[in-house]
Amino acid sequence: MPVPLQTALLELFGSAFGDPAPGEVCFAPGRVNLIGAHVDYNEGPVVPIALDRGTLAAARPGQDGRIRLVSRDRPERIEFDLEASADAPLEGWSAYPIGLCRAFRRAGHALGGFDLAVAGDLDIGAGLSSSASLLVACARALRAAFGLELSDEQLALLAFAAETEHVGVSCGIMDPMASALARPGHALYLDCRDRSYEHLPFPREQVSVILVDSRTRRDLASSRFNERVAECAEAVAELSRVRPEIRALRDVHIADLERSGAALRPEVERRARHVVEEIGRVHRFREALAAGDHVTCGALVSASHASLRDLYETSTSALDFLVKEICNVPGALGARLTGAGWGGCVVALLERGAEQRVQDAVAPRYLQVFGQQARFHLPRQETTS
């Protein structure tokens, strides 16, 4: 847990709400998905890894049935009467903790009013799952404040319900699961159908994960993400007419596409092909990681990017440029856009030690061509808990 952030959070809590201090300060990291892009809502496997950045939250049960919220990043204190405005529309950042509170109550967990403070160090809108990190941190803080017997996995499902049902964003299950379950030093192999998972040891002493933020932004709730979700559903509806056991693209083989290709609209066929091939890459990535074959891991990550660019069409010229420039630097193993796409970050796997070399080579080129500074997130030296 980043220590300066913890101090800032406790100061914020004290100045907004006074004594007593909250019992526990809870952390939830952001995540970057190494491979398995746009696979979660198609019920396939993904391999996210926790970042060393995220959100801290602390809560204390209140006396008067009101919710009081403060964030280090927003000046105003928000107050909300949960009973009186149980169905009021939610907006702004407070939609997340309030939506979460509704999800807890709908699931039968007794929550009264509370005071809650949050502080984070994730860039918002960069595709690093700041919303899942906020939700999971708040869920942990509420679990601690109200002494609820809930596992991290249950908290992830409540966070998912909050975002999809109460905030109204059609995100997948990966982000809250990754934020709640991923362990330092490991990638998380998550099956998004049955939600089983495994912690895969990640060799940080040999391979670095860096993020390069293109500083171009996308809106997750935007029509383009929802359009991809709808195109995948359209493919499933069509393909299942031939093979009724197909419930999601997870159940589709390339042979199904070749057989039914003519029945699918061309762009729908491309989306489905990306997902089916990406699932194959996830399996190969997992095997290569276990075998210590980092060159193959990197090549699969780069192949994922090419598929996002050409078949899923979620890339941009800035992201393509960053991936290409990074991969040209000695020591780079592979790179791809991460998150939903249409802006945000590139994730790269590098041989340990190549981080600064990559930044020195790529930063000036990006500035020269795109007229703005890319933001490099190199791994911190200290570990997080």
- In the complex, the residues that contact ligand GLA under the rule CB under 6 A are 33, 37-38, 40-41, 127, 171-172, 174-175, 220, 339-340
Calculate ∠ Cα 244-247-248, nearest 5°: 135
49/69 with CB nearer ligand GLA: 49
Residue pair 138/78 in contact by the 8 Å Cβ criterion: no
Nearest approach, Cβ of residue 48 and ligand GLA (Å): 9
For residue 198, which of 355, 9, 47, 69 has the smallest C-alpha distance? Answer: 47
Nearest approach, Cβ of residue 305 and ligand GLA (Å): 12
Residues 6+ apart with CB under 8 A from 370: 214, 318, 321
39/69 with CB nearer ligand GLA: 39
Nearest approach, Cβ of residue 202 and ligand GLA (Å): 19
CA distance 32 to 54: 12
19 is catalytic: no
- For residue 200, the cross-strand partners are 187
Residue pair 54/128 in contact by the 8 Å Cβ criterion: no
Nearest approach, Cβ of residue 376 and ligand GLA (Å): 21
> Sign of the C-alpha dihedral, residues 39, 42, 44, 49?
positive
Torsion on CA atoms 85, 86, 91, 97, rounded to nearest 10: 120
Of the listed 40, 115, 175, 213, which one is catalytic? 175
Nearest approach, Cβ of residue 131 and ligand GLA (Å): 8
339/343 with CB nearer ligand GLA: 339
17/41 with CB nearer ligand GLA: 41
Residue 313: which region, alpha, beta or left (left: phi > 0; alpha: psi -120 to 50)? left
Residue whose C-beta lies closest to ligand GLA: 172
40/251 with CB nearer ligand GLA: 40
Active site residues: 175
